[in-house]
Amino acid sequence: MENAVVVGGGVVGMLSAYRLAQAGLKVLLLEAGGLGRESSWAGGGIVSPLYPWRYSSAVTALAHWSQDFYPRLGEQLLAETGIDPEVHVTGLYWLDLEDEAQALDWARREGRPLQRVEMAAVQRAVPALAGGFTHAVQMAGVANVRNPRLVKALRAALLNLPNVTLREQCAVSGFVLEKGRVRGVVTAEGEMRGDCVVVASGAWSGELLKGLGVELPVEPVKGQMILYKCAEDFLPSMVLAKGRYAIPRRDGHILVGSTLERAGFDKTPTPAALASLQASAEALLPALAEAERVGHWAGLRPGSPEGIPFIGAVPGYEGLWLNCGHYRNGLVLAPASCQLLADLLLGRTPIIDPAPYAPAGRLG
């Protein structure tokens, strides 16, 4: 195999292209809009599932590999491009969890450093936190990545590679089929061919596969976020309560999110979500009521059953591969997902058991 076409220019598509190109393939990356401008740009960038103990072992396996790898990825991209994705280790406090015992059991079983913390210690560590919370657990090593800068760094890294071609504003409408084998894709600019095609189109992946009569259970789930600008030392750690979180960036920006809405492909920010997010922000960190709000936006997550992505070959369509359906954890799971995809496509020993992610048996 010499040539690959990757459809979708989010973090998963870009990192898939990067891994395949590093292995020597000639890669064409196609993106309907601008690279990384959909959910990869819109998310929060916590390098952990929000509630990791509530997920299956399939999600856990990808998350653990990626969490351990992220610092190295950040350093590598900074060295190659001069753009720092800001993998920022702040730790994360979960406040007033209803399933705290389950969380601690999971941590013991998985060997993850989650522990109970006295609320007085949390208040000392995070002085801006509201009063009234009664119990907390913390994972000190959790990082967040500044996803818009990760996107810029990946784009720059791909542009540095002579065997990668990037095509933005180039929507894919179908596939080139020859004797049951996928030989490329159809675009407004004509057919673009390769030895294999990787669909990494996020929330749009299911729509694309319908053209082949393949029912891929990936659908858009809208999420809205707001952004504040505070002093650099305002929030030293990520905090999460009642399903909402606050994430500090190094320069004092504070992200608060997020909603979960099923509204098709509508990405319009709404006044109702803004009011709800502001109320959550001020319930967590009362001083945000006086802070400057500098952003409010929405993105579309690629929802999938149990949040387990589809990674691997599509049965019945030789040459067609998937890396999509990461739901709320695309940024968290991307490094492992893209390494696994490359391992499978290139016939290498996979980093983890690929069976839970295989499209076979999971498509309609």
The CATH number for 256's domain is 3.30.9.10
164-167/92-95 β-pairing: unpaired
* pLDDT at residue number 43: 95
Of 29, 316, 336, 182, give the one whose Cα is nearest residue 357: 336
**Whether residue 239 sits in one domain with residue 201:** no
Q: Structurally, how many domains does the chain consist of?
A: 2
**Whether residue 247 sits in one domain with residue 114:** yes
**Whether residue 134 sits in one domain with residue 104:** yes
Percent of the chain predicted with pLDDT > 90: 99
**Whether residue 230 sits in one domain with residue 267:** yes
Let me know if residue 123 belongs to a domain.
yes
Let me know if residue 59 belongs to a domain.
no
Let me know if residue 315 belongs to a domain.
yes
Let me know if residue 82 belongs to a domain.
no
* pLDDT at residue number 125: 97
**Whether residue 348 sits in one domain with residue 227:** no
**Whether residue 328 sits in one domain with residue 212:** yes
Let me know if residue 285 belongs to a domain.
yes
**Whether residue 270 sits in one domain with residue 210:** no
pLDDT digits (tens, 9 = 90+) for 174-201: 999 999 899 999 999 999 999 999 999 9
Last residue of a domain, one of 303, 318, 345: 303
**Whether residue 9 sits in one domain with residue 135:** no
**Whether residue 285 sits in one domain with residue 160:** no
* pLDDT at residue number 364: 76
Q: Give the dihedral of Cα atoms 65, 63, 327, 323; nearest 10 deg.
A: 10
* pLDDT at residue number 307: 97
For 235, the domain range is 92-140+219-303
CA distance 90 to 86: 11
Cβ-proximal residues to 207 (8 Å cutoff; 6+ apart), any chain: none
CA distance 259 to 271: 12
Let me know if residue 58 belongs to a domain.
no
**Whether residue 164 sits in one domain with residue 135:** no
CATH of the domain at 184: 3.50.50.60
Let me know if residue 313 belongs to a domain.
yes
**Whether residue 42 sits in one domain with residue 12:** yes
Each as own residue / partner, the long-range contacts of residues 112-118 (CB below 8 Å, 24 or more positions apart, any chain) are: 112/52, 112/64, 112/139, 113/139, 113/140, 113/141, 114/138, 114/139, 115/139, 117/93
Rounded to two decimals, the pTM is: 0.97
| pLDDT < 70 positions in the chain | none
* pLDDT at residue number 1: 72
**Whether residue 299 sits in one domain with residue 155:** no
Let me know if residue 111 belongs to a domain.
yes
